[in-house]
Copies of this chain bind each other. A is one copy, B any other.
Amino acid sequence: MGLAVGVIGGGQLARMMIPAAIRLGVELRVLAESEHASAGLAATAVGDHRDAETVLGFARGVDVVTFDHEHVPQPVLAALVAAGATVRPGPDALRHAQDKLEMRARLEELGVPQPEWAAVSSAAELAAFLAEHGGVAVVKTPRGGYDGKGVRVVRDAGEAADWLAAGPPLLVEERVGFVRELAQQIARRPGGESALYPLVESTQRDGVCAEVIAPAPHGGRVAQAAARIATSIADGLGVTGMLAVELFETDDERVLVNELAMRPHNSGHWSIEGAVTDQFEQHLRAVLDLPLGSTELRAPWTVMVNVLGGPADGDLDRCRRLALADQPTAALHLYGKDPRPGRKIGHVTACGPDLDDAAFVARAAAAAFD
């Protein structure tokens, strides 16, 4: 029999693993949240990823279990491992993508550059951190945040009172004066072989990734620093699969780690058209311990623009027709999701020898969905 990968979570990341699995000739099985999940086509089970029995039942018979998101609780992961399942990335690596306090503490041990930070459990501790950092800081709930959720810029400890009252310590970080955000993708196999992607520049709007340019313009020195950082983290944490390291480039040319994701990531969608091996196929190769593919660029410039929200009238058919008609060189990716304000329902990619042209094409095609 052939190889089978089980993916926990049926979002667009699992959806975009399907073409990669088809190409490689491996079976992809998805544990989806609902029958209408984005990756529903490959769903072999529908259920709750927090329920150990559901997850154990799903994992039976697959060669490796991997993830669409990082929300599977550690006890469930432990049960999987205890049952003999191969889980990649493993629980010990994954907890650094699940808990931002664990991540900060471990990166400190590894000597990876990051913003100044502290764990705070009281208004007094938060006030002390604010006083030491110019009166402003970024407070994060260590778990469960995404796309700007669970993140607040605060100038007074009272602004985090509700989160502090909820109990567990919060992560507080200096507010970094950054000139831009970058992302570094790296794939790593169980034995340690790894493959770095070109550094990319990402633009966020309202805490959500809006646009990615590959490679990051004027990368130079920061690209070398980002590569070193991502390699240190992948090796230091023993990551298997894709790792995305979101970075700040500061106004004094430092590169600091913002966030980690141990799976294909929005900042790597450009690779479907822009790299010889895309992040979804690379993730499957890495978790299956297959040889990694080339991460070379396929075009001088690739620009990825997210389709956020979608049309207010819900008429995706009309928007798709418009996008395809207007921009015949754009690559459109829809996620099978209903329009809803702020929701990531797709993305558009354009490649070419000229950055401005590629950006125009991708933005224009995405704008057809406004």
Interface, chain A (partner B; CB < 8 A): 2-3, 15-16, 18-19, 22-25, 41-42, 276-277, 285, 290-294, 296, 298-299, 316-317, 320-321, 324-325, 328-329, 331-336, 346, 351
Which chain B residues lie closer than 8 Å to A317 at the CB level? 2-3
B2 lies within 8 A of A333 (CB): no
- The reply to whether A333 and B15 form a contact with Cβ atoms under 8 Å apart is no
Cα–Cα, bound, A2→B325 (Å): 18
Determine if A24 and B328 form an interchain contact, defined as CB atoms under 8 angstroms apart. Answer: no
Contacts of A19 in B (CB 8 A): 18-19, 22-23
Choice from B41, B336, B346 contacting A41 with Cβ under 8 Å: B41
Do residues B18 and A321 form an inter-chain contact, with CB atoms below 8 A? no
Query: Which B residues touch A294, using CB under 8 A?
Result: 328-329
A332 partner residues in chain B, CB cutoff 8 A: 23-24
Known: A22-B19, A24-B320. A329 touches B290 (CB 8 A): no
In the bound complex, residues from chain B placing their C-beta under 8 Å from that of A316 are 2, 25
Residues of B close to A328: CB separation below 8 A: 276-277, 291-294
A57 to chain B, nearest CB (A): 21
Contact A25 B299 (CB under 8 A): no
Closest 9 CB pairs of A and B: A25-B334, A19-B19, A291-B325, A291-B324, A294-B328, A294-B329, A23-B333, A293-B328, A276-B329
Could you pull out 24 A-B pairs where Cβ atoms are within 8 angstroms? A2-B317, A15-B22, A18-B18, A18-B19, A19-B22, A19-B23, A22-B41, A22-B336, A23-B332, A24-B334, A25-B316, A25-B320, A25-B336, A25-B346, A276-B329, A276-B331, A277-B328, A285-B324, A291-B328, A292-B328, A293-B324, A296-B329, A298-B299, A298-B351
The residue that A22 contacts in the complex, of B18, B24, B276, B299, with Cβ under 8 A, is B18
Judging by beta carbons under 8 Å apart, are A298 and B298 in contact?
Answer: yes
Q: How far is the CA of A3 from the CA of B316 in the complex (A)?
A: 10
Tell me how far the C-beta of A272 lies from the nearest C-beta in chain B, rounded to whole angstroms.
Answer: 9
Which B residues are in CB contact (< 8 Å) with A22?
15-16, 18-19, 41, 336
A1 nearest CB across to chain B (Å): 9
Closest chain B residue to A289, Cβ basis: B321
A22 to B30, CA, bound (A): 15
- B contact residues around A325 at 8 Å (CB): 291
Across the interface, which residues of B come within 8 angstroms of A42, CB to CB? 41
Report the nearest B residue to A335, measured CB to CB.
B25
Among residues of B, the one whose C-beta sits closest to the C-beta of A195 is: B328
Q: Which residues of chain B come closer than 8 Å to A41, judged between CB atoms?
A: 18, 22, 41-42
| Chain B contacts for A18, CB-based, 8 A | 18-19, 22, 41
